[in-house]
Structure 1
Amino acid sequence: MVYKNIIFDFGGVLVDWNPRHLYKDHFKDPEEMEWFLKNICTDEWNIEQDRGRPLSEATMGLQREFPGHSDMIALFYGQWEVMLKGDIPETVALLYKLKEKKYPLYGLTNWSAETIDIAYRRFPFFKVFDGIVVSGTEKLIKPDPGIYQLLLDRYHLKAEESIFIDDNIHNVNAAREMGFYAIHFQNPAQLEAALSEVIPA
């Protein structure tokens, strides 16, 4: 199979986003921070913003539920940009190499529509993409097959001609079921090696 298109997830693949980058400076005890992220500002809560729930609604709802943690909850989106520590240089370098080889590049990300512009402003590599689908804008999130199909339809792509890269195995498995060649990202060197097996050097 000749692969024509390469599709990247963003968080954990091209950018280093982690709530701990923010909260480590606000909790004296790392165990307290981990408890907070596991029980208050959870991944499950955050993913609903990636699905399109307004940040203000999410924040106020959680503050009503946990009034004793109101200030810490407010930090999550009040200082959200601190969580976006930087890019992942080796993966970004690989992205540019693929662009130089004339591969069409696309993004498919679970990300809030209200914060994605912060990333666009901070990281110039986003300009190399030929198209991007953001879950919070579409009100769909991976691994829902609908968001993969939306990407294919919008940019007139075929799954069997496309390589999909994501650090979440559930998203990878969903892509495989739809016919993509999907790579479970673990680190930049592993990704480069995996790509070298299926595309020309």
Structure 2
Amino acid sequence: MKNSNIKNIIFDLGDVILNIDVPVASLSFAKLSGREQAEILTLFKENDLFRQFETGLLDEASFRNLIRKLVDSPDWTDEMIDTAWNSLLLDMPVERVELLKTLRSKYRLFLLSNTSSIHITQVNKILEAATGIKNLDELFDKVYLSYEMGIMKPDPEIYLQVLKEQNIKAEETLFLDDNSDNIKSAAKLGIDTILVQKPVTILEYLKDYAV
């Protein structure tokens, strides 16, 4: 049901706007290395690889070098690593982009994503191939990315930073994410929330807002 108080909408990226399949990345690295997927996941988790890269503690070169070290594959090229890392990124449905264009005429729109620079470069390529739009910045009033902010959802501070910087009120803001922890954290701050769950998409969740 539409909340008539809403003036601002914050979107997550993965599985909200862009379709993704997270396990595909570890599977890609497993195939490249000849190791089991479970072993790859354990190596990445034990070394906090995702969080370090997605909060900017690792730059692209350091990220690639750490992967080479963890899987003992010093001969892997940057392109091999990037391709495996990006394999979890699927498609950008055009109808979701069209919805964003419609909503932007009525609301202030923001993107808030836990992501890395390598992923964002590829996402923009996917976006351009699907729609002709070259950059996510063209769809939102402001794009907030964890690796640039140095913080990740569900840390409450990441939402507070967006609210403060944009001078917007929590009770006038709607946040959509596919992760329940991220939703709970935002809701505790008074932000209205929608947990996006497949197979339902933002087209259904936001149909009343697009009218």
What's the TM-score once normalised by structure 1's chain length? 0.78
Task: Write out per-residue CA displacement over residues 91-127 of structure 1, whole angstroms, 9 at most, x where no aligned residue.
Answer: 3343233234x22110011112454233234412721
Say if 2:25 is the partner of 1:14: no
Could you tell me which amino acid in structure 2 is paired with residue 112 of structure 1? Answer: S
Query: Which runs of structure 2 are paired with 1:171-190 in the superposition (5 Å)?
Result: 171-187=182-198, 189-190=200-201
Say if 2:109 is the partner of 1:105: yes
1:161 pairs with 154, 162, 172, which one? 172
SS at match of 1:27: helix
Aligned to 2:31: 27
Give the conservation status (yes or no) of the 8 Å contact 1:15–1:86.
Answer: yes
Say if 2:62 is the partner of 1:51: no
2:96 pairs with 85, 91, 109, which one? 91
What fraction of aligned residue pairs are identical, expressed as a percent? 25
SS at match of 2:148: helix
Q: Over aligned residues, Cα RMSD in angstroms?
A: 3.3
Any stretches of 5+ residues in structure 1 without a counterpart? none
Give the conservation status (yes or no) of the 8 Å contact 1:2–1:161.
Answer: yes
Q: How many residues align?
A: 196
Q: CA 1:47/1:88 → structure 2, altered by over 3 Å: closer, same or farther?
A: farther
Aligned to 2:130: none
Query: Which runs of structure 2 are paired with 1:129-148 in the superposition (5 Å)?
Result: 129-148=140-159
Q: CA 1:99/1:129 → structure 2, altered by over 3 Å: closer, same or farther?
A: same
Task: Give the drift of 1:59.
Answer: 3.2
Give the conservation status (yes or no) of the 8 Å contact 1:176–1:182.
Answer: yes
User: Which deviates the most, 146-155 or 2-11?
Assistant: 146-155
Q: CA 1:84/1:142 → structure 2, altered by over 3 Å: closer, same or farther?
A: same
Any stretches of 5+ residues in structure 2 without a counterpart? 128-132
Q: CA 1:76/1:183 → structure 2, altered by over 3 Å: closer, same or farther?
A: farther
Task: Write out per-residue CA displacement over residues 51-89 of structure 1, whole angstroms, 9 at most, x where no aligned residue.
Answer: 11223223323433442x556796433554444222144
User: Which deviates the most, 77-86 or 51-60?
Assistant: 77-86
SS at match of 2:31: coil
1:170 pairs with 166, 181, 184, which one? 181
Task: Give the drift of 1:191.
Answer: 3.6
Q: CA 1:111/1:200 → structure 2, altered by over 3 Å: closer, same or farther?
A: closer
Give the conservation status (yes or no) of the 8 Å contact 1:110–1:142.
Answer: yes
SS at match of 2:9: strand
